[in-house]
Amino acid sequence: MRLLRELHGRTVIAIAGAAAVLGLAAAVLIVGVGLFNVSARHGHWPGVTWAMHTTFESSVAFRAPPKSAVPDNLDTPDMVALGAGHYKSACMECHGAPGVPRSATVQQMLPEPPSLALVADHWNAPEMHWIIHNGIKMSGMPGWPADRKDDVWPLVAFLRAQKGMTPDTWEAITDDTEGGCAVCHGRNGVSENVQVPRLDILSEEYIAQSLAAYRDGTRDSGIMYEVMSQLPAASVERLARTFADVSPEGTAIEPSELAEQGRALAFAKGGSQSVPACRACHGPWPEPINPAFPSLAGQHAPYLAQQLTLWREGNRGGGRAAELMFKASKDLTDREIEALAAYYASLEPAKLDDTAD
């Protein structure tokens, strides 16, 4: 019995050694000699495609965020429209769009970038978010060009809405006849999309410093970083001047009870002793205010709430006053953020020093 055990042990060692030698030889042939054909004109060896795709699906399912992370407003028209604008700029070239086929060259990629018209049938919202934010190795699918995750959701919203979308609808929500910025910000920067900021109320200095921050990545946004990466540096001053020259139009909204609570906070009359007077930097204020600060009068409430949340969580970044806003917002509750957003959104759209209560 002892001899049999010794022979069995030697056999195992011999088999393991032989396997190691064969593995090393295979590695030399594949990696060193070039036996594996990397040509995109030839498919994978049998079983490789299945193994890679199954690994991909399992990895996404394991790492996707919980369903509770999906925003309540995901499927709203404004979220879909914002996602469509980014899709046209960053994704359409490889994946096509309603009425826009993938090019012949793209169709020769391996793996071929799929049409995303039916992507929502296979992936749920958290899984799509993870794929878009992280990208996929060895597929040509890049990761999101920013750490910030919240501005991935509009693209998820568009992908969910793309099923059954007609070419006419696609053209309507991505119309850029008024200029590239108009796709998201509307004509003359007067956005009607509540997820996108109005630019007509902002100063030239603030717009310029914001665009520069997007361009160098100090203000984190995958959507705006993509836009600014395609524009020459000289365009920053021109765009800032163009939008700043627009005179805001609109009327004040009858303030709600929530907006009145926001007014108390903005005037530092609220119960929170750690929140400074917002009006000292954003108006209304009787003296001239530093034009490096943004006007908030008439800005969309959902957009303002989103930005205050980013400031509170330390994910916003931006200009010289970033540290000031981190400190000012760190103790705000969700209710206070909603109230401040409601108050400023209720004001008549105006430039910084023209803001009236």
Q: Which pLDDT belongs to residue 229?
A: 93
How far apart, in whole angstroms, are the C-alpha atoms of residue 308 and residue 326?
9
Q: Residue 243 in contact with residue 199, Cβ under 8 Å?
A: yes
For the stretch 266-311, pLDDT in tens is: 998 855 555 668 999 999 999 999 999 999 999 999 999 999 999 9
Pick from 60, 95, 78, 72: nearest CA to 154:
78
pLDDT of residue 276: 67
Residue 2 confidence class, pLDDT cut points 50, 70, 90: low
Which class does domain 257-354 fall in? mainly alpha
Percent of the chain at pLDDT above 90? 76
Q: What is the per-residue pLDDT across 92-129, written as a single tens digit (0 to 9) for each? A: 999 999 999 999 999 999 999 999 999 999 999 999 99
Main-chain dihedrals φ then ψ at residue 97, nearest 5 degrees: -160, 170
Q: Give the residue with greater pLDDT, 198 vs 138.
A: 198
- CATH architecture for the domain at 187-244: Orthogonal Bundle (1.10)
To the nearest 10 degrees (0 to 180), the angle between helices 204-216 and 222-229 is: 90
CATH 1.10.760.10 boundaries in the chain: 53-173, 187-244, 257-354
**Mean pLDDT, range 224-244, rounded to an integer:** 94
Checking phi first, is residue 34 left (phi over 0); if not, alpha (psi -120 to 50) or beta?
left
Tell me which residue of 102, 117, 101, 109 sits closest to 139, measured CA to CA: 109
pLDDT of residue 206 exceeding 90: yes
Quick one: DSSP state of residue 196?
A: S
Q: Which of 353, 355, 347, 316 is nearest to 332 (CA)?
A: 316
Between helix 322-329 and helix 301-313 the angle, nearest 10°, is: 90
Within 28-145, residue ranges assigned H as helices are 48-63, 77-90, 92-95, 125-134
- In CATH terms, the fold of domain 53-173 is Cytochrome Bc1 Complex; Chain D, domain 2 (1.10.760)
Residue 324 pLDDT greater than 90, yes or no: no
pLDDT for residue 12 is more than 60: yes
Q: Which residue from 278, 275, 274 is spatially nearest to 263, judged by alpha carbons?
A: 278
Helix (H, G, I), strand (E, B) or coil at 167: helix
* Nearest alpha-carbon partner for 229 in 214, 250, 249: 214
pLDDT confidence band for 239 (50 / 70 / 90): very high
Instruction: Please report the pLDDT score of residue 235 as a whole number.
Output: 92
